Amino acid sequence: MLERWRERDVFHESIRRREGAPPFVFYEGPPTANGRPGSHHVLSRVFKDVFPRYKTMQGHFVPRKAGWDCHGLPVELEVEKELGFTNKHDIEQFGIAEFNARCRESVLRYIDEWNELTERIGFWIDTNDAYFTLDPNYVESVWWSLKQVWEKGLLVEGNRVVPYCTRCGTALSSHELALGYKDAVDPSVFVRFPLVDDPDVSLLAWTTMPWTLVPHAAVAVDPDVDYVRARLGDPRSPASAGQGAGDRLILAEALVERVLGEDPEIEERMPGSALLGLRYEPPFPYITDYGERGHTVLAGDFVSIEDGTGVVHTGAAFGEDDFRLATENGLTIHNPVRPDGTFDERTGPFAGMHVREADAHIVEALRDSGRLFRAGEYEHSYPHCWRCDTPLIYYAKKNWYVRTTAVKDELLAANETIKWYPEHIKHGRFGNWLENNVDWALSRERYWGTPLPVWRCEQGHDVCVGSLAELSERGGEQPEDVHRPFIDEVVLSCEQCGGEMRRVPDLIDVWWDSGCMPFAQWHAPFENENLARERFPADYICEALDQTRGWFYSLLAISVMLFGEASYRTCLCLGLILDPDGQKMSKSKGNVVVPWDVLNAHGADAMRWYYFTSKQPWDGYRFSLETVGESVRQFLKPLWNTYAFYVLYANVNEPSGSAEETELDRWIRSRLAATTERVIERMEDYDTTFAGRAIAEFVDDLSNWYVRLSRRRFWDGDPAAFDTLRDCLLGASKLLAPLTPFVTDEIYDNLDGAEPSIHLCYFPEAGGRDEGLEWNMQVVRDAVELGRAARAHAKLKVRQPLREAVVVAADRERGAIERLEELLKEELNVRSVRYVSEADELGRFELKPNYRALGPRFGKQMPQVAAAISALDPAKLRAGRRVGVNVNGQDHEIGPEDVTMVLQPLEGYQVERSGTHAVALNLEIDDELRREGLAREVVHAVQSARKNAGLDVEDRISLTLAGDEELLAAAREHQDYVAGETLATSLEFDGAQGDERAEIEGRALLISVRLASA
Ligand SMILES: [Zn+2]
Ligand SMILES: [Zn+2]
């Protein structure tokens, strides 16, 4: 099929044919091709495929440009790993030019595998015309965007606390931060800070990051909270383990019991405001000059009494609240942590240690100096670097920011214009994210990425460059490459002071790159400006749920700042792919399902069908090779078998005779129309789940009802049956084409083939419906269902004919069944159908006490109550009334909830009931019925003999039977029937060689089947 699509150039043809039609714009969120594609990539890629296919069939022009994300830390990390580097120093020594050359090479390492997989899963996207974020044209468009933001005063440099990865040596933006929360176990350390004026009394503070105690600046309390001075009593108390008796500690009253246990004696209560200004001894003597208010008690508005002690230790540079507190109180800010996460020379014995390694040494030092009150462990969710998994630290440093907070209202307004799937994302996950917007930390001190186009002279004049041409205009030379280190060599001259301007060495956040794709993919506005405008905004984008803080955000933020509106109208979010036990897939657990294994075992349609219909796509999947196999078994196989049935019979039987449509034909056509209506309605709502399920129900109706009940007509070459089945197969295939593009094109090509591919056809329009007939058929099918269940309970094979079925049906339902009574008779294999209007006529209702309801009420009197109930008139309780009973001289009321109603069928009948519907079968089998049943068994045995002899369905045979007399007598009596069903041109009853021996109810049947001479 792939070859046929390539040969016939179906994908491009499907776009060409719609040129000039109303466009439907799709944006490809660019993946990174430096790793192999996984099952979750297949998920997003098939969802990116299905709606563009659908819209194309609906008559839209749907160009699809592929894209690749090429920059950023993930790429650098991969290369570092290969080269065995552990930090930035290694990269600088190796040389940035050479390092970036390796990144460039690495980033497209698996692009062939990606492209191959893309084709294999039937994701139609133009990989030959892809955009690459490393392309100089792309970078230039990104620069243009930054210059726009710069000119609006939204791109600024600031000293702020940022989440920082010491391994990668760079700050992370808040959306990157949100990607990496993980459970972690950190130290939990309680520390004493003795008061300068009263060294017997200590403030008790708590931290989970002991390393921040080395650059300790101050403590904060909540002035409005009550604090106490507590004296610890019994030294053996667990809470004061390791403490001498008499320890006197200041902490929040609300936390005394949790921290100190129940023992302490409260010496004094005071408001937090009474503590302000107190001086105390810092835990370490290495850095001391924090200014006037250093190492004093300050008022903080962030002090929590949820955990800790209500006395918050602060290292001014290491936290947003800390930094703000320090700035407000005029503290000197020291940051003795180097960019690689090690302490610098100001920190005594800890100098040179990584802060996280230093934790344990710091706790020991506190223990030695007597400052440690207690040390333990603390489990919490803590942010890690989303790429390298290192726990982040918070850290005050200079960074470039985009002031997204200045456009928060516009972001929220733009979000209102987006349709989200699932809907709750809009005001939930995404809306909250926007509500809590913080400025975008844009700069990265790294090597492989889009360079921040800001140049600065020695006087501190800055300029943001918006194009390559502007470099020349400002006196710079065109660089050999827009990346580092080449761009770093471009020197501009300052307009203000005439001095030399050099580039600020930072790169920008890679998420900014991908957020620029609406225009940068076209190199707009330098080229294709109109095209970019025409294809803005996207009608549809689709990615994994976690992109609410990634691409969904960067796309929105950039388009709102640049164009004042959202860059997408509809956004479909996809859930996680878990293993069958609900565990995340990971290499270390060995539960990763490789997409190629699934594709090779079950094919692309099966994988697509599974993703489209097994769940709502945002609910997440429990994925395995077997679950995909189920979709083959439950849907694709029945579909294929129905198609194969058609082909088989169409090939052997020239349709002939009258072409009059039957009720069944009209019914299945009406069902097709109903399904088409439903599928269009669902697909317009971006819902493959229920669109697919509607088609599956139709295919089930087609194969398990229409075809099964029409077999005889196909046999006889009834042209109406062939036409109907063909139309239904083609109709269903067109509805299915966007979901399972391979099998449907195969069916189309063979049954129709007017176009080079089904994917060049228009989506079907719903034809006329006969809802009355659909309803009638449903009533009959329900009755058949009950009748079959009755047979199963009576352990009677369907092949055994029965005298009579009794159906409870009145009015409209009775009319429906009467109209289609032949179907019912045939399906239940009964001679006649009788109608009654009440289930009572099928038997007698009996009342049984509901012990669970009555037991607690009556206890030991239950036997008498049970007897009284069985004497009641069931009809009264059936009407929902309450009746009185007298037990041991006492009156009680019994309601419908106190009893269960059991229908005892009439003698000789089997009844099956569901709600008000019921069907009873007369089980009496006389000799005549029995012989007919046996004749059917004989036919069944001969059919399998035919199959075993390798005969084709249309082959005529000469048939010889021998064996048990009763079987032969039955076959003789129904000789025409047996011969007709088995295509026997002659039927004899002796001399069978017994090529095939069958057993029917313990009786032997010898069967000889010979190909009849023509
Ligand atoms: Zn990292
Ligand atoms: Zn200057």
In this prediction, residue 642 carries a pLDDT of 96
Computed from CA positions of residues 539, 542, 548, 551, in that sequence, does the dihedral angle turn out positive or negative? negative
In this prediction, residue 240 carries a pLDDT of 45
Higher pLDDT, 237 or 563: 563
Mean pLDDT on 488-492:
96
> Quick check: 34 and 70 in contact, CB under 8 A?
no
In this prediction, residue 879 carries a pLDDT of 66
Farthest-apart Cα atoms in the chain, separation: 122
pLDDT category at 403 given cuts 50, 70, 90 is very high
- Report the range of poorest mean pLDDT among 49-63, 471-485, 532-546, 810-824: 810-824
Higher pLDDT, 236 or 778: 778
In this prediction, residue 402 carries a pLDDT of 96
Q: Which of 182, 398, 584, 848 is catalytic?
A: 584
CA distance 159 to 9: 56
> Quick check: 457 and 500 in contact, CB under 8 A?
yes
CA distance 636 to 265: 76
Please confirm, yes or no, whether 511 is among the known catalytic residues.
Answer: yes
Q: How remote is the CA of residue 218 from the centroid of ligand 1, in Å?
A: 30
Which residues, including other chains, have CB under 8 Å from residue 431's CB and lie 6 or more apart?
412, 415, 425
Q: Which of 68, 420, 551, 667 is catalytic?
A: 551
Q: Which of 5, 30, 282, 964 is catalytic?
A: 30
In this prediction, residue 533 carries a pLDDT of 94
* pLDDT tens track for 970-1012: 888 998 988 888 888 888 887 666 678 888 888 888 888 888 8
pLDDT category at 130 given cuts 50, 70, 90 is very high
Please confirm, yes or no, whether 525 is among the known catalytic residues.
Answer: no
Please confirm, yes or no, whether 148 is among the known catalytic residues.
Answer: no
Please confirm, yes or no, whether 69 is among the known catalytic residues.
Answer: yes
Q: Which of 521, 547, 800, 910 is catalytic?
A: 547
**Helix (H) or strand (E) segment spanning residue 54:** helix 39-57
Provide the 3-class DSSP secondary structure of residue 728: helix
167 alpha carbon, closest ligand:
1
Please confirm, yes or no, whether 584 is among the known catalytic residues.
Answer: yes
457 alpha carbon, closest ligand:
2
The answer, yes or no, to whether residue 947 has pLDDT greater than 90, is: no
DSSP 812-842: HHHHHHHHTHHHHHHHHTEEEEEEESSGGGG
Mean pLDDT on 469-480:
94
498 alpha carbon, closest ligand:
2
CA distance 864 to 374: 70
Higher pLDDT, 926 or 426: 426
Q: How remote is the CA of residue 400 from the centroid of ligand 2, in Å?
A: 19
Q: Which of 440, 448, 511, 522 is catalytic?
A: 511
Report the length, in residues, of the chain: 1014
The answer, yes or no, to whether residue 243 has pLDDT greater than 60, is: no
- Other Cβ atoms less than 10 A from the Cβ of 61: the count is 18
Q: How remote is the CA of residue 700 from the centroid of ligand 2, in Å?
A: 76
The answer, yes or no, to whether residue 484 has pLDDT greater than 70, is: yes
* pLDDT tens track for 716-746: 889 999 999 999 999 999 999 999 999 999 9
Q: How remote is the CA of residue 460 from the centroid of ligand 2, in Å?
A: 6
172 alpha carbon, closest ligand:
1
Mean pLDDT on 36-43:
91
Report, in this order, helix, strand and coil percent for the chain, each rounded to 5: 45, 20, 35
Two tokens, residue 454: 């800001």
Q: How remote is the CA of residue 6 from the centroid of ligand 1, in Å?
A: 43
In this prediction, residue 903 carries a pLDDT of 73
Amino acid at position 682, single letter:
R
Two tokens, residue 444: 């990265």
463 alpha carbon, closest ligand:
2
Buried b / exposed e over 957-995, threshold 16 CB at 10 Å, is bebbbbbbeebbebbeebeeebbebbbbeebeeeebeee
**Helix (H) or strand (E) segment spanning residue 997:** strand 996-1000
Q: How remote is the CA of residue 485 from the centroid of ligand 2, in Å?
A: 23
455 alpha carbon, closest ligand:
2
Q: How remote is the CA of residue 763 from the centroid of ligand 2, in Å?
A: 63
* pLDDT tens track for 328-364: 898 988 889 998 899 999 999 999 999 999 999 999 9
Q: Which of 49, 69, 509, 513 is catalytic?
A: 69
Q: How remote is the CA of residue 332 from the centroid of ligand 2, in Å?
A: 30
Please confirm, yes or no, whether 904 is among the known catalytic residues.
Answer: no
Q: How remote is the CA of residue 385 from the centroid of ligand 1, in Å?
A: 5
Q: How remote is the CA of residue 45 from the centroid of ligand 1, in Å?
A: 28
For the question of whether the overall pTM of this predicted structure is more than 0.85, the answer is: no
Mean pLDDT on 391-416:
93
The answer, yes or no, to whether residue 798 has pLDDT greater than 90, is: no
In this prediction, residue 706 carries a pLDDT of 96
Give the Å distances, CA to CA, from 333 to 162, 336, 644: 15, 10, 78
Beta strands 570-574 and 419-421 are parallel
